[in-house]
Chain A
Amino acid sequence: MSALRRPAGSPLLRLWALSTVGALVGYVALVDRLGFIITAFLMLCSQFAAYRVRPALIVPVAAVSTLLVHAAFYKLLRVPLPWGLLSGWTW
């Protein structure tokens, strides 16, 4: 399987990879304090920006995705995603 993809040596790619790991670790570290909605939104925005998504799409898609995922998992599947800073606005 390693023949399918070989990491190119460009430093930009290394930066992308690090940003992904960084976003993931950042999410895990911050989600309890900031709450799911904020952290997920920030993670998505940073990742979209890193992967050069059209700037006009970044915020709307990140916001919609975050809210959809939150609704599906918190409301439908009853997963207790942390509220964090938004504890006043639980629904």
Chain B
Amino acid sequence: MEALAAAFQMVFSVQTLVVMVLASLFGLFVGAVPGLTATMATALLVPITFFLPPIPAIAAMVTATAMAIFAGDIPGCLVRIPGTPASAAYVDETYRMTVKGHAETALGVSLVFSVIGGLFGTLVLILAAPALAAAALQFSSFEYFWLVLLGLTCAVFVSGDAPLKGMITLFLGLLLGCVGLENPAAHPRFTFDLPDLLSGVSLIPAMIGLFAVSEVLRFSLDANPLAPVSRQVGSVFRGMGAMMRRYPVQTLRGSSLGTVIGALPGAGADMAAWMSYAISRRFSREPEKFGTGHPEGLVEAGAANNSALAGAWIPALVFGIPGDSITAIVIGVLYMKNLNPGPTIFINNPSSIYAVFLLFIIANLLMLPLGWLCIKVAARLLRTPRNLLMPVILLFCVVGAFAINNSPFDLWILVAAGLLGWFLETHGFPIAPAILGMLLGTMLEEHFIRSMIKADGNLIAFVERPIAAGLALLVLVVWGVSAWLGWRRRRAIT
């Protein structure tokens, strides 16, 4: 009990609270600017944590990332440019809602259900961390292979009415993901002898190009460049109670899936958002509304990506194994502050663990007022006339693309991706699956090769382990059902 009291004292100190507010503003800014990711926010905070005592340092990182993941939804909703890869899964949906005049609903859903998802993930973290970590450790490369395959399948679901076009873009993304040295054989693929391509096509510049630059290009072809892009954003919280009553299953499902995916090392908020949105569409009672500006998918995916953040801490705290790229950085900070993660931390330093739990709860609650403030500011900023706004967005794109790797070559990737994205969109191809393909392609191959090496080339090994077999069955069922539904639809048309 004294540990809990000590935790309260550490968390509710002036220094911690001030740090949390400042970190929130930082996180909101980084999340809202396309090209700057939550992982980058965490990395940038590390030097600052040198000067802070342990709890404020962790407070800064937890708060900044929670805000950043939420804030990525804001530009996606208002100008169709996702701020972080996690928001790319449902950017079309949110933008459609804005066009229909429901921007405040989209943003409200995103905000409120991010908070709910984050709190749910924190609850799971508090109650079930050791048990979940033990289950997560059962996942080996075989299980991961099927999981990633499931994730890739979700990309096709997300593209809804044109699944074939979605598949084409997905394979394009997979092809782009092939480029470079980052394959199990370390053999340079499609590098054309360019040293810059050895590390492959960077995801962030490609994403900014595909979404943002293509959007700017589309604007430049628009006949009416002076119209302001977003309508008045009304009260963001109105109607949220009704949303919670209407979609309890989706909220729960999104939060649980997000927490589980976050808890799996290597899979983070991005994958959680994608899978959750696809699942929402697949199990919805109104699937035809998806893509027209329907909040159901947002409820689920918004909850999922924030709960994944909390879930990622489960293996991090219990084993010192990062659940995603953000926790990888945080673990480094934990070691630096003598809070060595692992089972002993629960015994030796319970007050610090309680403090971390408290920080998560406060950070998620802080999201409500600060996120609301951010929405108001962003809505005002984005209401400037588009002929002023778009060139500035273009400037942010080039700087953001450069900022990730400080590589001028990434700028060329930006240009190429922008042209490609514009071309794809004009012909009705969804861009989002390409991003997912790039994100997951390397993972899929790595787990496949690793599994094959472990199994000595024996393919049966992929279904020998129970969890792997279960996931494999799931993948086959999903493929089978989709194929059957597609065939039935074709029959109905002819």
A86 in contact (CB, < 8 A): no
Shortest Cβ distance from residue B219 to the other chain A in the assembled complex, whole angstroms: 8
Contact of A79 among B99, B406, B426, B430 (CB under 8 A): B406
The residues of B that contact A77 with a CB separation of less than 8 Å are: 36, 44, 403
* Proximity string of chain B (211-254) to chain A, C-beta cutoff 8 Å, 1 when within and 0 when not: 00100111011110110000000000000000000000000000
Given A5-B222, A79-B402; A31-B392 close (CB under 8 Å): no
Q: Is the CB of B388 within 8 A of A48?
A: yes
Q: Is the CB of B395 within 8 A of A79?
A: no
B residues 416-436 touching A (CB-CB < 8 Å): 418-419, 425-428, 430
The residues of A that contact B418 with a CB separation of less than 8 Å are: 24
A17 in contact (CB, < 8 A): yes
Q: Is the CB of A51 within 8 A of B225?
A: yes
Interface residues on A, range: 35 or more
Report the Cα distance A47→B195, complex, angstroms.
33
The residues of B that contact A23 with a CB separation of less than 8 Å are: 391, 394
Q: Is the CB of A79 within 8 A of B399?
A: yes
What total of chain B residues lie within 8 Å of the partner, measured CB to CB? 39
Q: Is the CB of B213 within 8 A of A7?
A: no
Given A17-B217, A52-B387, A61-B388; A28-B398 close (CB under 8 Å): yes
A87 in contact (CB, < 8 A): no
A85 in contact (CB, < 8 A): no
Q: Is the CB of B221 within 8 A of A8?
A: yes
Report the Cα distance A20→B124, complex, angstroms.
49
The residues of A that contact B448 with a CB separation of less than 8 Å are: none
Given A2-B426, A8-B221, A17-B220; A69-B399 close (CB under 8 Å): yes
Q: Is the CB of B419 within 8 A of A21?
A: yes
Report the Cα distance A14→B412, complex, angstroms.
22
Report the Cα distance A57→B226, complex, angstroms.
15
Total inter-chain residue pairs, C-beta < 8 Å:
104
Report the Cα distance A13→B225, complex, angstroms.
10
Contact of B394 among A5, A24, A66 (CB under 8 A): A24
* Proximity string of chain A (45-87) to chain B, C-beta cutoff 8 Å, 1 when within and 0 when not: 0011001110001000100011001000100011111000000
A residues 14-35 touching B (CB-CB < 8 Å): 14, 16-17, 19-21, 23-25, 27-28, 31-32
Report the Cα distance A9→B160, complex, angstroms.
30
B179 in contact (CB, < 8 A): no
The residues of A that contact B226 with a CB separation of less than 8 Å are: 52
B residues 378-416 touching A (CB-CB < 8 Å): 387-388, 390-392, 394-396, 398-399, 402-403, 406, 408, 411-412, 414-415
The residues of B that contact A78 with a CB separation of less than 8 Å are: 44
Given A28-B412, A32-B408, A80-B406; A43-B221 close (CB under 8 Å): no
B92 in contact (CB, < 8 A): yes
Q: Which residue of A lies closest to B222 (CB)?
A: A5
Shortest Cβ distance from residue A75 to the other chain B in the assembled complex, whole angstroms: 12
Shortest Cβ distance from residue A33 to the other chain B in the assembled complex, whole angstroms: 11
A10 in contact (CB, < 8 A): yes
Q: Is the CB of A20 within 8 A of B403?
A: no
Shortest Cβ distance from residue A6 to the other chain B in the assembled complex, whole angstroms: 9
Given A28-B408, A31-B408, A79-B403; A8-B223 close (CB under 8 Å): yes
The residues of B that contact A7 with a CB separation of less than 8 Å are: 221, 426
Q: Is the CB of B395 within 8 A of A24?
A: no
Report the Cα distance A53→B384, complex, angstroms.
12
Given A1-B430, A2-B428, A44-B395; A24-B221 close (CB under 8 Å): no
Q: Is the CB of B220 within 8 A of A20?
A: yes
Q: Is the CB of A13 within 8 A of B223?
A: yes
Q: Which residue of B lies closest to A3 (CB)?
A: B428
The residues of B that contact A66 with a CB separation of less than 8 Å are: 395
The residues of A that contact B394 with a CB separation of less than 8 Å are: 20, 23-24, 43, 47
Report the Cα distance A74→B99, complex, angstroms.
35
Q: Is the CB of A10 within 8 A of B223?
A: yes
Q: Is the CB of B213 within 8 A of A24?
A: yes
The residues of B that contact A17 with a CB separation of less than 8 Å are: 217, 220-221
Q: Which residue of A lies closest to B411 (CB)?
A: A28
Q: Is the CB of A20 within 8 A of B402?
A: no
Q: Which residue of B lies closest to A44 (CB)?
A: B391
The residues of A that contact B399 with a CB separation of less than 8 Å are: 36, 40, 69, 73, 79, 81
19 contacts between A and B (CB under 8 A): A2-B428, A5-B221, A16-B220, A16-B225, A21-B419, A24-B394, A24-B398, A28-B408, A40-B398, A44-B392, A51-B390, A52-B226, A52-B387, A53-B387, A53-B388, A69-B395, A77-B44, A80-B406, A81-B399
A residues sitting closer than 8 Å to B (CB atoms) are: 1-2, 4-5, 7-8, 10, 13-14, 16-17, 19-21, 23-25, 27-28, 31-32, 36, 40, 43-44, 47-48, 51-53, 57, 61, 65-66, 69, 73, 77-81
6 residue pairs, one from A and one from B, having the closest CB atoms: A47-B391, A51-B387, A7-B221, A28-B411, A20-B220, A79-B403
